[in-house]
Each structure stands twice: as structure tokens, then as C-alpha cells.
Structure 1
């Protein structure tokens, strides 16, 4: 903590958290001399913050009782963290919060000192965040309702539509809400199944918080549970170069165990797949040149499918 402005803010934070702090303790926490602490206190007073001091042996400082600090006082790193966090909301699938994030960002910028405001504006102009096609949109209102239920430890009722199945009415004690691999999940005890379950938020509707409290298990690790229910690693590691940019592939390639990155004017696709036959057929269906760098089995599968296609064409 070598930046003097950071030390001044630390003095303020300590004064907010304690009724009174001695000068000796401030000097020890900040690793400075008592005289330097006096300069930091004077700086706060110059900013209009009413810090009162008691002189003599055991001298101490405190904020004037009843004083309300301005709602926003951030360090440079805190301001940048907030600005980045607001921009990243849509990358968590919370597109409905985009207007709120823009409004909060505008308020943040207006309330910052000039130097910090310029840093945040530089971030807005200089940083690009790629919107992954694998992030599933999530209803922010539904998420907020689930978070209230988790906080209050009350069960919820909702309509759930699992993949290729009819909608069912569920009641669950939701222990945690988790974001993993582009999707939001509610994890807890399903009363219909009588067991621990996870529910995708994009498949939930009509969430209602019930007047039915529950006690969650201690130290429950929802993320570990959710990872344990995910499919095992794929049998084959695939590496293919495609002669199209990544943005033209987004929405056409499954996001399961798939990574797309620009390379040599095209796209490097790294993926894990169990069924090379169906993946080879998918590649043949793409309207672009490609090069398979691995595994060799995929190249052989493409060759066999190509030979079969040629043979079928010769019949007509």
C-alpha cells in the first residue's frame, strides 16, 4: 500500500468501521509515522470530511457523529473493477440488465473524480469483451427471485421443462445459484424427486417463493455437485482449422467442450467429441475449406464419408 491516496482512503475506511481509532494504530496499520498520519487526516479534513482528533497520550481520531459519507468513494482499482463488472453482465446471460448496467455506469462516471473518470472512459474506449455464443440468456427477474429465496431459506415452486420432456410443476429447496459454462443453475433438494437436483434457469418459469422455510446442509458446495453431474471428458480431442472467421461459426457449432479462436485468417476449433462419425458429417456440411490436424481417426472418417458420398452420387 504505497500510494498515498490509497492510504488516505484506508484511514477513512478505518474511521468508518470504528467509533474511534488511535493515531498509533493508524500509523501501525499504514506503516507510516504518526506525523504522516496527521497529514492524511488533514487531507480528509481538506476534502470536507469532519474528522475529530484528540491530542495527548493515546490521542485518537473519529468521524463527527451523524456524518453521512457520500454514496460513492472508490479507489482507481475499485472504479475499474466496477466498470468492468457492469460491462460483463451480458456475458453472464443477463441481457435484461443491460439498460440498468448502462445507467449505473453513467452514474459511476459522473460521481468519480476527474482522473478516475478519465480512466473509466479509457476502459470504455479501449476494452472489447467478446460475447460468447454459448452463454444462455437468463431472466433477471427470475434470478432475483431465486436469490431472495436462497437468502431467506424458503422453498420455491416453479414450472420446469426438461429437455425433450413435458413441463412439470416442481417444489425445491434451493441451496445455491451457480453460473457454469454459460448457463445459470439452481441447485438444491427437489421435493418431487426427493433428491438433490440442479435446474437450468432458462428452463424455469413462474417462480414463486413459498412460505415454507428449510435448513440447507452445512458447507454445501453447489459448484462441486454440479460439476460431478456434468458429462465425462470426451473420448477424442479434435483440432480443426476452418477457413472462416469465428463470428461466422457462432450459433452453428455446439458449445459443448468447444473452443473457437482466430488463427491465420480463419478459425481454430478445439473440441472434445465422443462420436467422430457425426462430427465428420457436421464438418462436411460446413461451406468452407478446412484442415483436420487431429486426431487421425477423424481424417479417416472424413475420407470414408467422402467415398460414400461419391459412390452414392455415381448411382444417379
Structure 2
């Protein structure tokens, strides 16, 4: 058996061991990116190689899992995997997220402590060299903050579908005590709690750095039945949620048009090449102010075709910039 086939079987075994409920044949085919018939042969090979693998009947499906897990030899991480874990921790710490970085540091220690000393000694020089050779470029922007106690309280409420209470402070407004149905967390340039009003069901966002006295409350407060956090986050160009609109931008011909073709604007984006070499970028999103801020980085190479509200917001931002420069 070729090395790549052996690697695929071990990878499938890892995925079967990592799934509490087990994998169906369709799951295996999708995750391993193979045809169903190939997935069947791979499953049979894993079952013969790993005697602890078991079949679980979950009507109308059959699932397979390795309940006892795999050995340290089969699970030993590579230097590249450990490097990416270290970089993720470094990036969180550099952006002002020590609590989340500490969780990754703890995971790294657990992985290393589970490795055989020979494998750890063999990997250490390569890992040290790679860590020195790569770093994270920290961009200017707000420093998102979320202390460990706050994240723990929010996550506990999410898991229990319990009400979450906190004091919320907005600029130029009196602090207000809120009790909401927590839906999840969004991490980015700023960190947000996504929560629903318990009476109206309206979903909104709350900046974690403006929250205090966060605590899980007694009771039951599930998110709206049809709520999807990923879909909610995908509505906005950035984080801020408001009216969703159809956006159409024209990127001028030349270097910026080529750059725009490889740019990830939004999950709903479509790109249209024009006869003159320009590119039309279309997507549907909210957050026109955040989009306007981003468009400043493209200079005069982008023309806003729609919506009119984005044009208005851009004009307001330009006027504010002129006032700051004393040129208004």
C-alpha cells in the first residue's frame, strides 16, 4: 500500500475516533473527498486495522466510530500542526486576547505531554526553527477584549440555554442592566455577544468590552428556533447589523481590478468582468459604515454604483475627514 493510502486510512481513523456519534459512509466520503465506493473500501480497511472500531445503528443510518481512541503514535502531531497552534496563540495574545491565547497554550502543553519523548525530541528543533521564522503582522485597529470569567459565564449560559444578565454601558448613556437569551459569540476587530430579546425575539449584538457584572441567570432562555449564527454573521460586511442592501461596486481596470478578483468581499459575492477591464462586485449585506471605511483603502479605484445609502455614508465620512483636517 502506498504511503498516501496509508495516510488516508490513518486520517479516517482519526476522524472516526474524534466523532462521539460516529461517521456514516456519506460523512466519510465527504470528509475524505472520495467516492462512496472508495469510502466503503477505506472503512473496511480501518475496521480490519483497528479492532476497537465499532458499528453504531442510528436509524435510518449506520455509523462507525473508534470508541477507545487512538494510540499516541497514531495521534502524534506534526511540527507544522504545532506551529499553526503556536501562531494562533501568538495572534490572539498580540491582538489583546490573553484568555483565549491561554486556552491554546494549555492545549499545546497537553499535546506535548501526551507525546512520546522520542517524537517530541525529534520535532523540537524543527518547531523552534519554524517559530523563529514566522510571525504575525498586527494591524492597527481596536483591541478586542474578553476576560476568561466573562467568556466562561457566557458559554455556560449558551450551553444551558439559560438567561444571561449583564450591565451594558454605551458612550454618553447611563449603564443599563440587561437580561437576554444568549445565541453565541462573534470574534473579530471587536468581540460581540449575539443575543435575543426575551420578549420580542429580536437578535442584536453587544460589545464585550462594554459589558460588566456578567452572570448566568436561573431559568430557560433558548435562542430563536430558526436562528443560525453563521448566517447572522454573514449578513453584515463587518460586525454591525442594520438594514441589508444590495451592494454594487465597480473596480477600475488595471492592478486593482486584478486584486479585486482575488479579494474575499463577502460570502454572497459575485464578480463580473467588464469589456473595459473593470470588475463589478456584487453582494448583499448590512453594515454600510464599515464598508465605507474599507472602501477608503481602495482610493479612487472604486466607484459605488449601489445602494444610495452607501454613497451617503461615504460622503458623510469624507466630510468628517475634511473637518478633521480643517479643510471643510
**1:10 matched to 2:68:** no
Cα distance change on mapping 1:4 and 1:283 into 2, 3 Å: farther
Q: Could you tell me which residue of structure 2 aligns to residue 162 of structure 1?
A: 170
Higher strand share: 1
Displacement of 1:187 in angstroms is 1.5
Change (3 A) 1:9 1:119: farther
Q: Within 2, Cα distance between the matches of 1:278 and 1:12? A: 58
Aligned match for 1:234, one of 287, 292, 309:
292
Aligned to 1:268: none
Structure 1: stretches of 5+ with no match in the other structure: 19-26, 42-49, 54-61, 242-271, 285-300, 306-316
Contact kept in structure 2, 1:83 and 1:120, CA below 8 Å: no
Q: Distance in 1 between matches of 2:151 and 2:198?
A: 20
CA contact under 8 A between 1:158 and 1:170: conserved in structure 2?
Answer: yes
1:86 is the counterpart of 2:89 = yes
TM norm structure 1: 0.55
Secondary structure, counterpart of 2:158 in structure 1: helix
Query: What SS does the corresponding residue of 2:217 show, helix, strand or coil?
Result: strand
Q: Does 1:178 align with 2:186?
A: yes
Distance 1:123 1:283, change over 3 A: farther
CA distance in 2, matches of 1:7, 1:153: 39
Q: Secondary structure at the match of 1:166?
A: coil
The answer on whether the counterparts of 2:163 and 2:181 sit within 8 Å (CA) in structure 1 is yes
Secondary structure of the 1:228 match is coil
Length, aligned pairs only: 230
Give me the whole-angstrom Cα distance separating, in 2, the residues matched to 1:110 and 1:281: 58
5 Å-filtered alignment, 1:23-38, equals 28-29=38-39
- Spell out, residue by residue over 1:211-267, the C-alpha distance to the aligned partner (whole angstroms, 9 max, x if none): 1112322243331375433344439954699xxxxxxxxxxxxxxxxxxxxxxxxxx
Q: Is the contact between residue 137 and residue 202 of structure 1 (CA under 8 Å) also seen in structure 2? A: yes
| CA-CA distance at 1:204 after TM superposition | 0.6
Determine the structure 2 residue equivalent to 1:310: none
Large movers: runs of 4+ above 6 Å = 65-68
CA distance in structure 1 between the aligned counterparts of 2:185 and 2:74, rounded to whole angstroms: 28
Larger Rg: 1
Task: Provide Cα deviations, 1:116-161, integer angstroms capped at 9, x if missing partner.
Answer: 4444333311111123342322223212211221121111111110
Q: Distance in 2 between matches of 1:67 and 1:276?
A: 59
Shift of 1:280: 3.9
1:124 lines up with 2:131 in the alignment: yes
**Which residue does the alignment assign to 1:222?**
232
SS of 1:213 mapped into structure 2: coil
Distance 1:274 1:5, change over 3 A: farther
**Deviation of the 1:6 alpha carbon:** 2.2
Three-state SS of the structure 2 residue aligned to 1:173 is: strand
For 1:167-316, list aligned pairs within 5 A: 167-180=175-188, 182-191=189-198, 195-217=202-224, 218-220=226-228, 221-223=231-233, 224=235, 227-229=240-242, 230-232=287-289, 233-234=291-292, 237-238=295-296, 274-280=316-322, 282=324, 301=327
Determine if the alignment matches structure 1 residue 73 to structure 2 residue 75. yes
* Cα distance change on mapping 1:31 and 1:52 into 2, 3 Å: closer
Distance 1:3 1:118, change over 3 A: farther
Provide TM-score, normalisation by structure 2.
0.54
Q: 1:24 maps to what in 2?
A: none
